[in-house]
Structure 1
């Protein structure tokens, strides 16, 4: 067996196939929980499911095979399969407690997701694929329609939206992120702990009414319930994680707890600013379940996290400009920054099964964050011409300074937020109909203090802010007699409370039209909210959001499915959207509104006798009551005014399948155009207008040494707008940042796993999985820029956009272990 691999696009593999096939999948019980130690057999070939209900069995190809599933506490099931040579077929089944099953009893996990336009991602893929900020978001960024330009951030933009427009659920509980973070370096860990994950679903738009009030996307994650003791460990130069899972003998109690620690020093020290810098992040997360009987199930999800960001910059040199006119920015720093973000999250969930067709869910959660952002940093800079003469003794040095100046930045920002939720949800089934509904109350209590100012001078002359009623400073040509004031000065104290009531109802129907399969979903959401507080008196506002999905699977020889979905989507303002550029809360900001339509096609087919899927979607969004914003790194500053309209349109395509047998890889392409019209001044690009996107996620192994594996994560995004100072009119600055190009690679050797179990007496027998790998971040050492630093020259009245570069090439070792 030989495999040839290219880094750019495809891998073509040619193999000699035996006349056998593999069937694999998950055995579940009626509560959709994995069944351990279930027997799976065909004639003399037998296996048992593991702790996650997973099995893998070789069976003959080109013949009908009667596959039997059995368990001591459940009724048996027999199915008939006929597979092609070397076919790797996924077959998931639910064993019932009172009915034996004979015939086709396939439970296709992805069937409902397919008609809903939801992408399902394997948790194992998330854990294996390398990235500077590895995790679920690292994989999302390889999907079409998902854009980003900062490997140190877990935030992402979807189809023209911003970072605040994405819903994230864990076990149906909405989760939040800190408020004050302004840089990807400060973010630390994603809420989602990949060691605890069972399912990952993602929708880039046109999602159902049961999902909340955001404009762009939904990430829906389910944590798993263990069935016996287990432990896993991961360690690298960037930190580590430990997860422990337990289950009682009667399976009524289960716990899974994960602890993570991360230190980004290895990455940030590769940047151009020399610093004494140690950003440290840690969290502990636990999921506990209790199932006293078949009617009730109780669970608790808790998380405590702390981000410590200590930053003492020393110096910086950034070369930019052109070949004919090379320029360098040299900066000497004094001062430091100390930021802290501490969050506590707890959620209680109870499921009451009234009968087989009716269940109720009760969910209560609380999120508390205390954040501080303190810094005093003096930056003394000079902007000069670089000696580009190759024969010169001073080649590469700055020989002539054309601008000098300094900038003093100060902040004492504190925020304390408490968010409490209470929710009731129900689900009713009858025949092919399903009705789902829910009602939720949310209270957000925010205490916010801003003390932030900046003083700038150029060539020894203080610069005044670009606002009215301040005399123009024409130094050095004319004396300045006006007041000396900071270039920017933000001072605000806000005590705000937001009360929300939201709810939804939706109807699902699956039917047959001739020989064609039809799926419909119709629903509506409602949301009422009011902002109040000290010197804040907002009016009550209400929105209604009807949504619908329609899918048809024609009775064709080709396995195709067509979808259309969309509706009216609203995003009632969160606290950050209510606070304007001066820190003042405007309580009557309206919900942003979007009419969204998505047309999609799924085509499943065989290539090289292996399964592949081509998913394509075109979409259009028409947005009104838009709240304009500026984007600086990952900090969003809103105008807190609904004075714009916008649109987003594009095409997303993804081809995924087994380019190499037994592994999943994919290619993604996305085209996006999004523009906004602020106060009827004309359409300009929105801050997230990232026109083209290419992504490749690829897995491979050495044919003669299958334990040696390779993982590749490639992303190319065209440059974002955002080359303007935060105070400036965006209509005057429409330049773009450079294109974002990123390649992360991982190489590992698997000592043992489920496919390579060791014999008795081997020291590896005690491990379920053990591997050691090398990760290379930014494989091609591309210089990616996240923002521009604006440097002013008082003599020439010029401003220079100096790129702030991200991380360079970095190497790391990684150890994975599972007991």
Structure 2
């Protein structure tokens, strides 16, 4: 072979050797994809100091290859693929960091964000696994490449979270998720230290649209399912902490699928002080919605613009801006629906004929400024302000005539599947005129002082919320010409002997107008330290939060509350031959109510509602090992929660309705396992398993399952490629969740309705091919030369076409005074085509 001549034992100078190595690299790339030992991969990221500030001029080297980080701390380094590699990060005045046992696949682009301590004497070693370096704080780090590549109807950050143990969602149309028995409102989401809010009125995943988090802008992602530090806010369940990347050069990326498009622009000024990251996304969910069992004209269109800009005044002071405008329009004109349900011996069918339409609009706007000032090597200060504005409208007039029938289940009968009797025949009229305006203003200061492995962090935040809400909803029922009055209306009917002269009233009706504002002041302080104790590495963090808020509004009695929440984390890495880490964390987690938690089913606001409280303990273990000469990690956690002052709620799709009372207590406990590693060399895959039990006791009536009591959760993420064609890649994610409680109809006792939905089973498959990549150029093709990256492929959602349900529609048999739970099925099998390009 021609390339062997390059390897002959001839002595060259260092520069000549480097030139010959580059020549050898490109010759091998174009000669044969089977010479994997000569292929390369790329490691890239941003180097930070212990104050989490980008660190310039850091020397990064692997064997004879090396580079330096730029003024923004960004670096990129090519290494040999499919073999263990050691990479060293060194900087004058900082502790040297050595990465060991890093194995990357051919053409893989691996992102790693090291933090160099100020101590220059010792050398730290990090054994890198496919999930990156370990976190003693109990934080899960997920590669941004996985976030962007894994298939799913709502591909992105939330799609990956749902594959983690303890995280679940039975709705592929929604980006919302539940964590360890908590609901959608109990999760904290931060983007660049800015807290993110979601709309208040959205009741269906069909209406939800785009997630705020733009996966093409994500640089770093961290997630905690519980036991998190005091520096994070007042929520009960989890924290998702996103950092958007800072551009270092010009780049244009375009994604296009059958569901929508996105365009992301990266730009940097000549002096590298001004950087900008802009994105425009549009999405149309018609492909997904039309696969459901209700036929009609659907027009779900969603659009957003995001902007992240950073200006570096000096190496010590920078200011950044984060902006977002989102417009979600959902128009629905349903025609018919037919759903079969029941058992083999008792088959029923619901047939519905619709007239009318639904028109909903949700507009959100966020503007945030953050200033960071590094006083010296030990102290960093942050000042953050944000304004979130939300305007929501729900207008609908839908008339539905439904027929509930029993079907012939006799396999020997010629009339198999034909109706044998009618259980109900009625007309239902639903009308809504809901308007909500929300403004949330935040002003915050954070600081950190770190020295010799010790750190003191503090923060103070002011939050003002202003809500103007007008809710008008009504439901009228008509059975065989007789208007059905609401329960306990005080009128007895004996027609036609006695004429019925009472006024017509909706069977269910909510009419309210609320103007509510709240002021909240919160602060935290925490102390953390890393140290060596008898050759064992120890980390601990102790902190507490204090919050005080007051609620007032029209015709409301002013109410004020104060809470105190201590929290702590401890971890130890024993000096054993086996690479293991043990963690213990917990504390008191409290959640002050937002507007949705203050409003009851009748639209009345209760400002006296207190914060829900949870006593939370988490024990975890992380074991890193090698199998098949490749790195693997086994992570296990067990947790226990005791909850008081619980505000009970009902869950329907993604709509949560609170009782606006602290009249319940609850508990949750469970255990989780997650095995992650390179099942296929150079890729990251994982298997997760979780068990959960959560129950509540309302008014001391006994414990029943909470709406989020999903006992068993299994998630599998698998990546593969063809060794002969490494640019052909496969992504597969599998989900199995046992059924959630099916809920209960309005005006009924939840203790009487403890049935469960069917188990949730889903598989999504993605196949892609890289035409142009970091290590695959096409200089001979004039068209392909214009691309830095070009890939295309297809995705199959719900590969096995499983019928999954997210909630029940409660149908009233007005003749026999019964109610039937009719499942609302989710999307069927769908083919999606996608293409991704970067210039």
1:75-224 aligned at under 5 Å gives the runs: 114-224=135-245
State the match for 1:675 in structure 2.
Answer: 695
- Aligned equivalent of 1:340, options 352, 355, 361: 361
606-615 vs 85-94, greater mean Cα deviation: 85-94
1:571-650 aligned at under 5 Å gives the runs: 571-650=591-670
Residues in 2 aligned to 1:791 and 1:280: alpha-carbon distance in whole angstroms: 30
Is the counterpart of residue 351 in structure 1 residue 351 in structure 2?
no
State the match for 1:748 in structure 2.
Answer: 768
- Aligned equivalent of 1:377, options 383, 390, 398: 398
716-725 vs 370-379, greater mean Cα deviation: 716-725
TM-aligned CA deviation for residue 474 of structure 1: 7.2
Root mean square deviation of aligned Cα: 3.1
1:305-344 aligned at under 5 Å gives the runs: 305-344=326-365
State the match for 2:26 in structure 1.
Answer: none
Residues in 2 aligned to 1:216 and 1:83: alpha-carbon distance in whole angstroms: 34
Aligned CA distance change for structure 1 residues 330 and 21 (closer, same or farther; 3 Å):
closer
- Is residue 82–residue 682 contact of structure 2 (8 Å, CA) maintained in 1? no
455-464 vs 33-42, greater mean Cα deviation: 33-42
Q: Deviations over 1:37-92 (max 9, x none)?
A: 9774533x567889952323129979xx9967799xx9999988876999999896
Residues in 2 aligned to 1:156 and 1:95: alpha-carbon distance in whole angstroms: 30
- Is residue 100–residue 126 contact of structure 2 (8 Å, CA) maintained in 1? no
- Is residue 386–residue 398 contact of structure 1 (8 Å, CA) maintained in 2? yes
| SS in structure 1 of the partner of residue 778 of structure 2 | coil
- Is residue 170–residue 221 contact of structure 1 (8 Å, CA) maintained in 2? yes
Residues in 2 aligned to 1:56 and 1:84: alpha-carbon distance in whole angstroms: 13
State the match for 2:452 in structure 1.
Answer: 431
State the match for 1:8 in structure 2.
Answer: none
- Aligned equivalent of 2:588, options 565, 568, 573: 568
Aligned CA distance change for structure 1 residues 798 and 59 (closer, same or farther; 3 Å):
closer
| SS in structure 1 of the partner of residue 602 of structure 2 | coil
761-770 vs 405-414, greater mean Cα deviation: 761-770
Residues in 2 aligned to 1:128 and 1:311: alpha-carbon distance in whole angstroms: 31
Residues in 2 aligned to 1:338 and 1:666: alpha-carbon distance in whole angstroms: 41
- Is residue 695–residue 703 contact of structure 2 (8 Å, CA) maintained in 1? yes
State the match for 2:817 in structure 1.
Answer: 797
State the match for 2:47 in structure 1.
Answer: 28
Aligned CA distance change for structure 1 residues 502 and 111 (closer, same or farther; 3 Å):
farther
Aligned CA distance change for structure 1 residues 37 and 559 (closer, same or farther; 3 Å):
closer
State the match for 2:516 in structure 1.
Answer: 496
| SS in structure 2 of the partner of residue 563 of structure 1 | strand
Q: Gaps spanning 5+ residues in structure 1: where?
A: 1-14
- Aligned equivalent of 1:238, options 238, 254, 259: 259
Aligned CA distance change for structure 1 residues 440 and 605 (closer, same or farther; 3 Å):
same
- Is residue 307–residue 323 contact of structure 2 (8 Å, CA) maintained in 1? yes
State the match for 2:741 in structure 1.
Answer: 721
Residues in 1 aligned to 2:193 and 2:394: alpha-carbon distance in whole angstroms: 32
Aligned CA distance change for structure 1 residues 803 and 93 (closer, same or farther; 3 Å):
closer
State the match for 1:6 in structure 2.
Answer: none
State the match for 1:5 in structure 2.
Answer: none
Residues in 2 aligned to 1:322 and 1:543: alpha-carbon distance in whole angstroms: 50
Q: Deviations over 1:757-801 (max 9, x none)?
A: 334665323322211111101000000111111112222222211
TM-aligned CA deviation for residue 316 of structure 1: 0.8
Q: Deviations over 1:278-310 (max 9, x none)?
A: 100000000000001122100000000000000
| SS in structure 2 of the partner of residue 126 of structure 1 | helix
741-750 vs 215-224, greater mean Cα deviation: 741-750
Residues in 1 aligned to 2:505 and 2:366: alpha-carbon distance in whole angstroms: 42
State the match for 2:727 in structure 1.
Answer: 707
Q: Deviations over 1:12-50 (max 9, x none)?
A: xxx99969998945462656448799774533x567889
Residues in 2 aligned to 1:347 and 1:126: alpha-carbon distance in whole angstroms: 25
- Aligned equivalent of 2:317, options 296, 301, 308: 296
TM-aligned CA deviation for residue 172 of structure 1: 0.6
Residues in 2 aligned to 1:270 and 1:111: alpha-carbon distance in whole angstroms: 39
Residues in 1 aligned to 2:335 and 2:427: alpha-carbon distance in whole angstroms: 14
Aligned CA distance change for structure 1 residues 113 and 300 (closer, same or farther; 3 Å):
farther
- Is residue 458–residue 793 contact of structure 1 (8 Å, CA) maintained in 2? no
Aligned CA distance change for structure 1 residues 512 and 535 (closer, same or farther; 3 Å):
same
TM-aligned CA deviation for residue 444 of structure 1: 0.2
Residues in 2 aligned to 1:313 and 1:20: alpha-carbon distance in whole angstroms: 55
Aligned CA distance change for structure 1 residues 479 and 653 (closer, same or farther; 3 Å):
farther
State the match for 2:285 in structure 1.
Answer: 264
Residues in 1 aligned to 2:781 and 2:495: alpha-carbon distance in whole angstroms: 83
TM-aligned CA deviation for residue 163 of structure 1: 0.5
State the match for 1:406 in structure 2.
Answer: 427
- Is residue 651–residue 743 contact of structure 2 (8 Å, CA) maintained in 1? no
TM-score by length of 2: 0.89
- Aligned equivalent of 2:675, options 637, 655, 669: 655
Residues in 2 aligned to 1:307 and 1:59: alpha-carbon distance in whole angstroms: 44
State the match for 1:693 in structure 2.
Answer: 713
Residues in 2 aligned to 1:402 and 1:95: alpha-carbon distance in whole angstroms: 67
Residues in 1 aligned to 2:324 and 2:104: alpha-carbon distance in whole angstroms: 44
| SS in structure 2 of the partner of residue 556 of structure 1 | coil
Residues in 1 aligned to 2:99 and 2:153: alpha-carbon distance in whole angstroms: 43
- Aligned equivalent of 1:42, options 63, 73, 79: 63
Residues in 2 aligned to 1:651 and 1:571: alpha-carbon distance in whole angstroms: 24
TM-score by length of 1: 0.92
State the match for 1:55 in structure 2.
Answer: 77
| SS in structure 1 of the partner of residue 152 of structure 2 | coil
Q: Deviations over 1:664-712 (max 9, x none)?
A: 1110101000000000000000000000000001111122111111111
Alignment: residue pair count: 799
Residues in 2 aligned to 1:576 and 1:172: alpha-carbon distance in whole angstroms: 24
Residues in 2 aligned to 1:674 and 1:231: alpha-carbon distance in whole angstroms: 47
- Is residue 653–residue 668 contact of structure 1 (8 Å, CA) maintained in 2? yes
- Is residue 86–residue 101 contact of structure 2 (8 Å, CA) maintained in 1? no
| SS in structure 2 of the partner of residue 680 of structure 1 | coil
| SS in structure 1 of the partner of residue 799 of structure 2 | coil
Q: Deviations over 1:217-269 (max 9, x none)?
A: 00000001101100111000000100001001111000000110000000000
- Is residue 720–residue 737 contact of structure 1 (8 Å, CA) maintained in 2? yes
Aligned CA distance change for structure 1 residues 85 and 805 (closer, same or farther; 3 Å):
closer
- Is residue 578–residue 587 contact of structure 1 (8 Å, CA) maintained in 2? yes
| SS in structure 2 of the partner of residue 266 of structure 1 | helix
Is the counterpart of residue 784 in structure 1 residue 804 in structure 2?
yes
Residues in 2 aligned to 1:200 and 1:503: alpha-carbon distance in whole angstroms: 24
| SS in structure 1 of the partner of residue 726 of structure 2 | strand
Aligned CA distance change for structure 1 residues 78 and 446 (closer, same or farther; 3 Å):
closer
Residues in 2 aligned to 1:745 and 1:334: alpha-carbon distance in whole angstroms: 37
| SS in structure 1 of the partner of residue 348 of structure 2 | strand
State the match for 1:465 in structure 2.
Answer: 486
99-108 vs 540-549, greater mean Cα deviation: 99-108
Residues in 2 aligned to 1:91 and 1:381: alpha-carbon distance in whole angstroms: 55
- Is residue 301–residue 346 contact of structure 1 (8 Å, CA) maintained in 2? yes
Residues in 2 aligned to 1:747 and 1:504: alpha-carbon distance in whole angstroms: 47
Residues in 1 aligned to 2:349 and 2:236: alpha-carbon distance in whole angstroms: 42
Q: Gaps spanning 5+ residues in structure 2: where?
A: 1-33
Is the counterpart of residue 386 in structure 1 residue 411 in structure 2?
no
Residues in 1 aligned to 2:113 and 2:505: alpha-carbon distance in whole angstroms: 71
Residues in 1 aligned to 2:87 and 2:228: alpha-carbon distance in whole angstroms: 37
Q: Deviations over 1:297-341 (max 9, x none)?
A: 000000000000000001111111222222211111000000000
